[in-house]
Structure 1
Amino acid sequence: MQPKKILLFIVGVLIALFAMTFFSRYHTTASGMVREGIVFGNNAMLRYPTPDILGMLFKNTEKENKRLDELIKKTEGSIVDEKTKTLTENDSLVKDSLHKLESNTEGKIYYPGNKIDYLKQLKAKLHQSSCQIVHYGDSQIEGDRITGYVRNRLQLAYEGGGPGFFPIKVVYNQNSIDINTTGNWVRYAFFDRKQRRTVKHDMYGLFATYSRFTPYSKDTASMPVSKASFTLKPSKKSYARLQNYTIFGLHYGNAHSKISIRVYEGSNLLRKDTLISDGKYHNYKISFATTPKELRVELEGRVSADFYGITLDAARGVRMDNVAMRGEAGRIFTRMNYENYRQMSVDRQPDFFIFQYGGNTIPYMKTDQQLKEYVEGLIYNMNWVKRANPKAMFMLLGPGDMTTSRNGKRLTYPFLPKLNELMKEEALKNGIAYFSMYEAMGGENAMITWVKEGMAASDYVHFSPKGTKLISEVFYQCLHNDLAAVE
C-alpha cells in the first residue's frame, strides 16, 4: 500500500472521529453526574467526547493552584486548633492573625442596601447580652462542620459558650458534645421525604427534626410504659469554649399524655417533674452555676412527645445552632407548620440566620429556567423564616466549587457559576447578605486543586477537615474585618 494512501486513510479516520464529537452532548445521569456522549433511544449511550475537548487540552490550571497557595499563606497561623485550651492563647492567636487577610480579598461578602447600616446592625446584635445565630445547611455542615469553627471564633470575639442545638438521636458523627442514649429513640426529619410520608403532621419546629422513644400507634391506650434516657458530657474533642455551658434546654411538643422526667447531675437528682401535655411547644430549662460534668435525663411514659432537640448555652454571648439537612436544598420551610415554627422562634429568639444551600441542586441543573425557579424558591423560603422572625438578619452562603467528569477531565459543573451569580443577585434584592464560597475557593475548577492539596474529599464536593477549617477561617475573617471597619 502506498504511503500517501495510508496517510489519507489515517487523516480520514481522524476527521471522522472528530466529526462525531459534534453529535455528542452533555447528559445528566440519574446519579447526578454529567456525562458526554451520543444517546441512542431512551437509555443507550455511547460515551464520546464533545468539541469542548479541544479547549480542555490547552486549559491552564496555574491560576487556580496559585489561588489556593495564596489563601493558605494568608491564613497560616490563623487557624484555631481544637487542642487550644485557654481563652488567653486563643485571643492572642486571633489578634495576631487579623492583619493577614484584608477585608473581602478572598471570598467576598456582598451586602444588601447600605453596607455600613447592615454591618452596624449586625455588630450591635453580636454585642448584645446574648446573640442567637441559627446556621441552616446541607451535608457540608453536618457534624457541626463549619458552624463549630465559626461559633468558636465568634464566641472568642464576643463571649459565649456551649454547642447550641443538637438532636437526641444523633445519626452522624458529632464532635461538639458527648451524648449517649438508652431506649428506642428514632429521629424524624422533615427533610427526609420518605420518612415524612409516614408522619401525619407537619410540626417539626425550628430545627426541622425531632426524636421519639415510642413508635406511632393508633391504639395508644394499650401501649406499655416505656423508658428512655440520654446522658450528656462536654466533648474533649471540641473547642474549649464549646465545653462551657450553664443553660440546658429540652425542646418538645405534641405531648398528649403523661411523661415523667428525672434530671441527674452525676448521681445527684436535681429535678423530678412531669412534662406539660397540652400538645404545644415547650422548652424544659435548667440553669447551672458551672458546667455540669455529666447530665442524665430519664423519661418515662406510654406515648413519647416529639423532642425537637437539646440546647446547651452559656448565659451570655454568642450562641450558634448547627442545623444540618443532608440532601436538602433549602426549600422545605414553607411546608412546615408555621405556628409551631413561630413558637420555637419566639423562645429561641434568633438574631441572625445563615442559610448554606445550593450544592445539592447543581448536578441536576440543565436550563437557566431551572436555576431561576430554584433560587426564587430558596429566597421565598428564607422570607417565610423572616416572617416568623421579623427582627432577625439574614445571610446566604452559596455552594463552593464542585466538579464533574467531562471528556475524561474534571471540570466545574456548567451551571454552578450562573447559580452563584443568581443567588447573589436575588439575595441582595431581598435584604440578604451573600458570601460566595465559590469565589473564596478560587472560582472555576478550583476544587481540583483543593482535592490535590488534601483540602477536599475525593468526591470533589465536600471539604476535608483541613479544608473545612480553611474555608471557615476565610469566611470568619472577611466578616470580622468588615465588622471591625465600622464604628
Structure 2
Amino acid sequence: MHPKKILLFLVSVLVALFGMTLFSSYHTTASGMVREGILFANNTMLRYPTPDILGMLFKAQEKENNKLDKLIKDNKEHIVDEKTEYLAENDSIVNDTLQKLETNVEGKIYYPGNRIDYIRRLKAKLCQTSCQIVHYGDSQIEGDRITGYVRNRLQLAYAGGGPGFFPIKVVYNQNSINIVASANWSRYAFFDRKQRRKVGHDKYGLFATYSRFTPYAKDTASMPITKASFVLKPSKKSYARLQHYTQFGLHYGNAHSHISIKVYEDGNILKTDTLIADGKYHNYKLNFTTTPNEIKVELEGRVSPDFYGITLDASSGVRVDNVAMRGEAGRIFTRMNYENYHQMSADRRPDIFIFQFGGNTIPYMKTDLQLKDYVEGLIFNMKWVKRANPNAMFMLLGPGDMTTSRNGQRMTYPFLPKLNDLMKEECLKNDVAFFSMYEAMGGENAMITWVKEGMAAADYVHFSPKGTKLISEVFYQCLHNDLAAVD
C-alpha cells in the first residue's frame, strides 16, 4: 500500500477518534463515581475521554496545591511518634509550626451577625461552671475521633473531665472508656433505616440510639426473667482528662415493667434499686468522690427498657458528648419524637451543638437543586434541635476534601466546593458558626496530598489517626485564637 494512503488512513482514524470526544461528557454513576463517556438513550455508557483529556496529558502530575502541605511535612516526625498516640494531660501535637499557623487565612471559622458578639457569647458558655457540648457527626467522628482530641484541648483550657456519652452496646472501636457488656445487649439506631422500621416507635432520645437486653415481643407476660450487666473502667489509652470523672448517668426510657438494678464500686455493692417504670425518660444518677477503678451495673427484668446510653463526667468544666451516626447526613432529627428528645435535652442541658455532616451526600449530588435541598434540610433539622434547646449555640463543621476517580486521575467531587460555599452562606443567615474543613485542608484536590503524607486513608475520604489529630488541632487553634482575641 502506498505510504500516503497509509498516512491518510491513520490521520482519518485519529480525526474520527478525536471527533468522538465532542460527544463525550462527564456523568455521575449511581455509586457516585464521575465517569467520562457517551451516554445513550438506554442509559448505557461508552467510556470515552472528553476534549479536556488533552490538557491532562500534558500535566506531569497532579498539582499539589495544598496550602497545609508544608505544615503536614514539618509536623510529620512529631505526629508519627508513638509516644503521642494517646496524649497525656500536658501533651499536645502543637509545636512552633502549628502555633504559627495563620488560622484566619486557612481553616477560618465564619461567624454569623456580629462576629465579636458571637465569640463573646461562645466564650461565656465555655467559662460557665459547667458547659455541655454535643457533637453530632457521621463516620468521621466514630470512636471519639476528632471529638476526643477537641474535648481534651477544651478541658485543658476550661477544666472538666470524663468521656461524656457512650452507648452500652459498642459497635465500633472505643478508646475513651473500657466497657464490657454482657452478650445479650442489642443496639438500635435511629439512623439505621431498616432497623428503625422494625421498632415501631420514634423515641431514641438525645443520642439517637439505645441498647436493650431483651428483644421486642408481643407477649411480654410469658417472657422469662433476664439478667444483663456492664462493667466500666477508665481507659488507659485515652487522654488523662477523660480518665477522671465523678458523675455517672444511666439514661433510659420506655420502661413499663419491674427492673431491678445493682451498682458495684470497685467490687463492693454500692446501691440496690428499682428503675422508674412509667415509660418516660429518666436518668439514673450516681456521684462519686473520686474516679472508681471499676463500676459494675447489673440489671434484671422481663422486658428491657430502652437504655439511651451512659454518661461519665467531672462535676464541673467542659463536657463533650460524641454522637456518631455512620452513613447519616444530619437530617433525621425532625423524624424523632420531640417530647422524648426535649425531656432528655432538659436533663443534659446542652450549651453548644456541633454538627459535622455533608460528606455522605457528596457522591450522590448531581444538580444544584439537590445541593440546595440538602443544605436547607440540614439547617431545618438544626432549627428543630434548637427548638428543644433554645439557649444553645450552634456550629457546623463542613466536610473535608473528598476525591473521586476520573479516568484514573484523582479529583475533588464536583459539587463539594459548591456545598462548602452554600453551607457557609446558609449558616451565616441562621445564627450558626461555620468551620470550613475543606478550606482548612487546602481546598480542591488537597486530599491527594493528605493521603500521600499518611494523613488520610486510601479511600480518599477519611482521616488517618495522624490526620485526625492534625485537622482537630487546626480546628481547635482557630477556635482558641478567636476566643483569645475577645475580652
TM-score (norm 1): 0.95
Residue 81 of structure 1 is matched in structure 2 by: 84
Partner of 1:28: 28
Counterpart of 1:360 in structure 2: which amino acid?
N
Q: Report the Cα offset of residue 21 of structure 1.
A: 1.9
Cα offset, 1:48, TM superposition: 1.7
Between the aligned partners of 1:123 and 1:377, the Cα distance in structure 2 is 29
Q: CA offset at residue 5 of structure 1?
A: 2.7
The 2-side partners of 1:78 and 1:184 are apart by 40
Match of 1:353 in 2: 353
> Aligned equivalents of 1:114 and 1:57: distance in 2?
48
Q: Are the equivalent residues in 2 in contact too, given 1:78–1:97 (CA < 8 A)?
A: no
Matched position secondary structure for 1:220: coil
How far apart, CA to CA, are the structure 1 residues paired with 2:273 and 2:76?
Answer: 50
What are the within-5 Å matches in structure 2 for residues 44-63 of structure 1? 44-58=44-58, 61-63=62-64
Q: Distance in 2 between matches of 1:58 and 1:161?
A: 55
Aligned residue number for residue 384 of structure 1:
384
Q: Report the CA distance between 1:252 and its aligned residue.
A: 0.3
Structure 1 residue 57, shift from structure 2 partner: 3.2
Name the counterpart of 1:69: 70
For the residue of structure 2 that corresponds to 1:455, the secondary structure is coil
Change beyond 3 A, Cα 1:409–1:75: closer
Q: Which residue of 2 aligns with 1:128?
A: 128
Checking the alignment, whether the CA contact within 8 Å between 2:263 and 2:295 is kept in structure 1 is yes
Matched-pair contact (CA < 8 Å) for 1:401–1:438: yes
In structure 2, distance between residues paired with 1:365 and 1:333:
21
Partner of 1:405: 405
SS in 2 for 1:395: strand
What's the CA shift string for 1:224-254, capped at 9, x where partnerless? 0111101111111111111111111000000
Which residue number in structure 2 is paired with residue 90 of structure 1? 91
**Shift in Å at residue 19 of structure 1?**
1.8
Shift of the alpha carbon at 1:41?
4.7
1:422 Cα offset (Å) = 0.3
SS at match of 2:122: helix
Q: Which runs of 5+ in 1 are unaligned?
A: none
Matches within 5 A, 1:97-108: 99-108=99-108
Q: Which amino acid aligns with 2:145?
A: R
Name the residue aligned to 2:111.
111
Cα displacement string for residues 377-403 of structure 1 (whole angstroms, at most 9, x for unaligned residues): 000000100111110000001011111
Sequence identity percentage: 79
- How far, CA to CA, are the matches of 2:121 and 2:94 in structure 1? 23
User: How many Å apart are 1:97 and its aligned residue?
Assistant: 7.5
Deviations 1:20-76 (A, max 9, x none): 222223333332222222234545332222223234334564452553223553798
**Contact 2:71/2:98 (<8 A) preserved:** no
Q: Distance in 2 between matches of 1:396 and 1:451?
A: 24
2:39 aligned counterpart, secondary structure: strand
2:254 maps to which residue?
Answer: 254
Residue in 2 that maps onto 1:188? 188
Kindly indicate whether residue 40 of structure 2 is the aligned counterpart of residue 37 of structure 1.
no
- The residue number in structure 2 matching 1:243 is 243
CA shift in 2, pair 1:339/1:327, >3 Å: same
Deviations 1:102-135 (A, max 9, x none): 3323211100001100110011111111110000
- Contact 1:74–1:100 at 8 Å: present in 2 too? no
CA distance in 1, matches of 2:449, 2:208: 35
Distance 1:82 1:270 in 2: 35
Q: 2:180 is aligned with what amino acid?
A: N
The aligned residue for residue 218 of structure 1 is 218
Contact 1:103–1:482 (CA<8 Å) still a contact in 2?
A: no
Give RMSD over aligned pairs.
Answer: 2.0
Query: CA offsets, 1:434-471, max 9 Å, x none?
Result: 00000011111111111111111111111111111111
Q: Distance in 2 between matches of 1:57 and 1:252?
A: 60
Change (3 A) 1:398 1:76: farther
8 Å CA contact 1:401, 1:444 repeated in 2: yes
1:329 maps to which residue?
Answer: 329
SS of alignment partner, residue 211 of structure 1: strand
Paired residues, number: 484
* Equivalent position of 1:267 in the other structure: 267
| Whole-angstrom distance in 1 between the partners of 2:362 and 2:255 | 40
Does residue 164 of structure 1 match 2:164?
yes
1:326-361, Cα deviation, whole Å (9 max, x unpaired):
000000000000010011111001010000000000
Of residues 42-51 and 330-339 in structure 1, the stretch that sits farther from structure 2 once superposed is: 42-51
Give the TM-score taking structure 2 as reference length. Answer: 0.95
Give the match's secondary structure for 1:359: coil
What is the deviation of 1:273?
Answer: 0.4
Gaps of 5+ in 2: none
Q: CA 1:314–1:322 in structure 2 vs 1: closer, same or farther (change >3 Å)?
A: same
